[in-house]
Amino acid sequence: MRVLVTGVSGAIGRTVAPGLTALGHEVRGLDLVEPDDELAGVLGADVLVGDVVDLADQAVAGVDAVVHLAGRPSESSLPEALSSHAHTTAALLDAMVRSGVGRLVYASSNHAVGMTPRGEQVGVDVRPRPDTFYGVAKVTAEALMSLYADRFEITAVAMRIGSFLEEPTTRRALSTWLSPDDAVRLVAAALTTDAPGFSAVYGISANTRAWWDLEPGRRLGYDPQDDAETYASTIPHRDEDEAEGDRVGGPYAVMPLEKPLP
């Protein structure tokens, strides 16, 4: 497939773009930031530098699908959060309708349901329960995807990513970790699933202590291979661990609104 990856210079983008290329997809990159030499070597000349909202039409022209990873991955004011997550998603969806592009895969977040109390494994059928303005913006982006899926027959997969990290570094991450290789597996599955319409899935690895249900992802063909448990004995206890365990959003569920975590 020809795939636009927005946010390609970011942490997830610089992992997913080469991963998709290795699977045989052709990747066009878009980011505010120029790719570094290593990423540029993967992307070749097919790179756009600028804001998603300004470049959406040019960026989606000629692609089969969009993987939207551009956005600020932390708390901010409500207008900034909506601009970063909802407005960029809307701009891409509008451009996709104009160009006849039928598939969007989006980096949503566990913080869309972050105030959900810990307990039984959380499914994708819980009500939206954001923990921050960041989470509100992710809920809004998911609602836009649902709207455009229903109105314009776009296949739209919202990946509620947990913690994308090389390795889990906290007790919470033993439950929420998404490994780099599993991130590629998840995006690849979302790009090729034949499930129609809008789907939300949890973007975590096959963690023994998972807080979120992996079945919705498995139904789309996601087959995670990594488990944070491998690292459990290396993770030191922190005083914050207990408070971070009450709600699935962890530290976001107890932090002040508008200000990113230090």
Ligand X SMILES: NC(=O)c1ccc[n+]([C@@H]2O[C@H](COP(=O)([O-])OP(=O)(O)OC[C@H]3O[C@@H](n4cnc5c(N)ncnc54)[C@H](O)[C@@H]3O)[C@@H](O)[C@H]2O)c1
Rank residues 163 and 207 by Cβ distance to ligand X and give the closer one.
Answer: 163
Please give the residues from 213 up to 252 whose contact with ligand X meets the rule CB under 6 A: none
Question: Interface with ligand X includes 69 (CB under 6 A)?
Answer: yes
Q: Nearer Cβ to ligand X, position 73 or 101?
A: 73
Q: Known catalytic residues?
A: 134
Candidates 11-19, 35-43, 187-195, 207-215: pick the segment binding ligand X (CB under 6 A).
11-19
Kindly report the three-state secondary structure assignment for every residue of the chain. Answer: CEEEEECCCCCCHHHHHHHHHHCCCEEEEEECCCCCHHHHHHHCCCEEECCHHHHHHHHHCCCCEEEECCCCCCCCCHHHHHHHHHHHHHHHHHHHHHHCCCEEEEEEEHHHHCCCECCCCECCCCCCCCCCHHHHHHHHHHHHHHHHHHHHCCEEEEEEECEECCCCCCCCHHHHEECHHHHHHHHHHHHHCCCCCEEEEEECCCCCCCCECCHHHHHCCCCCCCCHHHHHHHCCCCCCHHHHCCECCHHHHCCCCCCCCC
Residue in the shown chain whose Cβ atom is closest to ligand X: 10
Among the listed ranges 7-15, 181-189, 239-247, 250-258, the one in contact with ligand X (CB under 6 A) is 7-15
**Could you give the CA distance from residue 73 to residue 152 in angstroms, rounded to a whole number?**
28
Smaller CB separation from ligand X, 71 or 216: 71
Among 26, 46, 51, 229, which residue interacts with ligand X (rule: CB under 6 A)?
51
State in angstroms the smallest separation of the CB of 77 from ligand X. Answer: 15
Residue of 112, 95, 1 whose CA lies nearest to 52: 95
Q: Does 84 bind ligand X (CB under 6 A)?
A: yes
Contact between 32 and ligand X (CB under 6 A)?
yes
Q: Does 27 bind ligand X (CB under 6 A)?
A: no
Figure out which of the listed residues 22, 33, 61, 126 binds ligand X, where binding follows CB under 6 A.
Answer: 33
Q: Select the span of 17-25, 157-165, 219-227, 235-243 touching ligand X (CB under 6 A).
A: 157-165
Q: Which of 76, 88, 199, 205 binds ligand X (CB under 6 A)?
A: 88
Residue 155 touches ligand X, criterion: CB under 6 A: no
CA distance linking residue 206 with residue 157, whole number of Å: 19
Considering the complex, what minimum distance in angstroms separates the CB of residue 27 from ligand X?
A: 15
Does 168 bind ligand X (CB under 6 A)? Our answer is no
CB 211 within 8 A of CB 118: yes
Rule CB under 6 A: which residues touch ligand X?
Answer: 6-7, 9-13, 30-33, 51-52, 69-73, 84, 88, 107, 109, 161, 163-164
